Structure 1
Amino acid sequence: MIIRPLVRSLCAGAMVLAASIGFIAPGVASPPSDQHRAPRAPALPEGLSALSWVVADATTGDVLASRAPHMHLPPASTLKTLFALTVLPKLPAEKLHTVSPADLAGLGAGSSQVGVQEGRAYRVADLWRGVFLRSGGDAVHVLAAMNGGVQKTIADMRQRAEELGADDTRVMSPDGYDTPGQYSSAYDLALFGRAGLADPAFAQYCSTAVASFPGGVDSDGRVGSSFEIQNTNRLLTGTTDVDPYPGLIGIKNGYTTLAGNTLIAAAHRGNRTLIVTVMNPQAGSVYEEARSLLDWGFAADDKVQPVGALRPAGVNPAVLHRAKANTKPTAEAAPLPAQAPPADGTSHSDAHAGLMSPIGMAAVGALLVSLVGSLWLLRRRMRR
C-alpha cells in the first residue's frame, strides 16, 4: 500500500517529462494539440495524423496552435531552407561556377537531383532554382563547394541555427539527406520559413512554380540544352490529385524514408500571412493536412490566444515579397514518392530532446516535485 502512491507519482512525473521533451514511443499517439480557443474560434481540423505540426503568423511570430512542436524528427529536404538562409547571402546571383568532380563528391545514393553536369558552368541563381524547385542535392553540393566545402557549410548552418534560436536542430548534411544524428522540429522549420520570407531572394525562389534550367556552358563555350523544371510543392503548382492552395507563397517540401513527407508552407490572405509546418503524417497527405491547418489558421483570425512565439522576436517580415513565376505551370508536376509506412522516424538522440529547453527543464522540475512529495508521503507513513 505504501508503494502505490510512489509509483503513481513517478508515472505521472514521467508522463509530463516525456510529453515535454517530445519523445513519443513507437505506436503511441502524438500528444494533444496546444490551442487556447475563444468561444467563437473554430475547432482544429479532424483527422490530423502528423507526428508534429505548427501554425504560426509570419508577421508577428505568434504560434496559433501546435502539436509536439519541439519533437526531434528527420527534416528531409525542408532542411534546405536553413542551407539557403546560410549560404544564399554569401554568393552573388550572377556568379558563374564551373562544376568539378569534387563538387559532387559525397552526394547520397538516391538523392534528388536537378541535372547539374560536371565540367559545365552555371550561374548561382540557376543553382538556387534547382534547389528550391527540384530539391536538387547536386545543386546543394555545388553551392556548398562554393561556400568552402560541405563540412564548412555544415558548421555554418549550425551557427546560423544557433543565431535563429533553433535549439531543436542538429545539422549533419547540408541537403537534408538521411544522416545519423540529424534532426529538426516543426517549430524550427517554421523559424526557418519565417526568416526566409524576410529575404526577397529567398521568397522569390521558393515561390517560383516553373523555370528553365540551363544545360550549362562547357570548356569550349558551348551551351547545353536547357529544360523546364517545375516546383515539386503540390500546393503551389497543383496536380491531378492536389489542388493549388489560393494565396500560397510556397517555401519547401521534402521526403526521405526516415522522415516521411515533410512540408513548410506559407500563404497570404487579406492582410495576414501564415506559416504551417507538417512533419511525417501517419495517414493521408502532407499537403491536405497542411491545407486544413492553413484554412483553420485563417478562420481563427483574432479568435485564438497564441500558445507560443517564434524566436527571435526581431525577425519581422512585415513586407513579404511574393514573386511571380516566369511562366505558369504547363505540365503536371512530377509525382512525389508514395507516403512511407507509419514509423516512429526518431533517432537515438530524441530521448534527450528538449531536456535543456525551458519546457524540458519545467518537466524535470515537475518530476522532482513528484519524487519529493512521494518520499515525504512514504516517510510519513513509515513513522506511523
Structure 2
Amino acid sequence: MTSPDAAMEGHRAAALLEDTRNAVHPHLRAAVETLPGAIRRVAMYHFGWQNADGSPASGQEGKAIRPALVLAAARATGGDTETAMRAAVAVELAHNFTLLHDDIIDEDTTRRHRPTAWAVFGVPDAVITGDAMLALAVRLLADDPHPASAPAVVRLSTCIIELCAGQQADCALEERGPEDVTLDECLAMAMAKTGALLGCACALGALYAGADERAVRAMDGFGREAGLAFQLIDDLIGIWGDTARTGKPVGADLTAHKKSLPVVAALTSDTPAAAELAELYRGVMNTPGEVRSAADAVDRAGGRDWAQVTAADRMARAVHHLSRAVPAPAGSGDLLALAEFVTRRTS
C-alpha cells in the first residue's frame, strides 16, 4: 500500500512533469522545426507530434523527467526557469538522440505504443536524425548569451562522451557469456549510460542559476545517484512491466538477452536459480514460457529484491548530495519529488 506521503510526492511529481511539458515542449518543438525537411519529419514522428505520413498526431510524448530536473535544479539553487529553458530543451534533445540510437542498437520496434522511428523510416534516417538532434542541442547552448553557456556546452559534451562509453560497454557486455559479467561492471555501465545525463541535467540547472562549483558538483552527484536508481527501476519494468503501460512486450529485455542489473545480480548469486537463468540465457528464449521461466529465475535468485534495495540505497546517496547543494530542505522539495517518482514508477 502506498503511504499518504508517497502519494502526495507522486501527485507533486506528476504536476511538475505536466508543468514542464507545457513549458518546455513549445520551445522544444520550435527547435525541432528548424531541422531540414526529411530529418524534421523523422524527429516530429519520434516526438509523437506527427504520424509517419506527416499528418498531425496526438500520441504520448516523453515524461520530460530530464528537463524537469534542469528547471527544478535551477529553482533550488536560486535561479528561474525561463533562464534555464534552453538548457532544459538541450537536455531533452540529447536524451532523444540516445533513444533514437538505442532503439536501433537494441532492435526495439515499439516505443510509446507505436513503431519506433527506425522501424518506420529505416536505420539511416533514424541515425542521422539522432545525430542532428545532438548537434541541435549543442547549438542551442552555444548560441545562448547567458554566462553559463560555455561551461554548459563543455559539461553536456563531456556527458555525451561518457554516455556513449556506457552504451559501448553495454553492447560489449551483451557479447559475453551469462556467467562472464560482474555486477560492478554493470553498475559502472549504468552510471555512465543513465546516471550521467540525469547528473548533467541537474548540474546545468545549477549552472544557469549561477551556483558555485561546489553546488554544481553536488547537483551532478544527486542526479547521477538518482539516475542509477532510475535505471534499476527501469530494468525491473523491462522484466515485469505491464505492456499496456510501457508500450513494449512483456519481458522484452529477457527476450533480447539483456544483461540488465537485476539479471546480473541474479546470475552472480551462486544459487540454483542462477544456474537455471544462465542456461536459459545460453538458449534462444523467445517463447512466452521461456520468458516467464527466466523472470521467475531472476526473482528466485534474488535479482528483483536486490534491485529494489539498491535503488533505495542509491536514492539515499542522492539525497545526501542534494543536502550539500541545497542545505535548506524547503528548497529541495521539487527535486526530491521527482527523485521519488523515478523510483516508484511502473512504466
TM-score normalised by the chain length of structure 1: 0.27
TM-score normalised by the chain length of structure 2: 0.29
Task: Compare the two structures and name the one with the higher strand fraction.
Answer: 1
- Structure scoring higher RCO (CA < 8 A, sep ≥ 6) equals 1
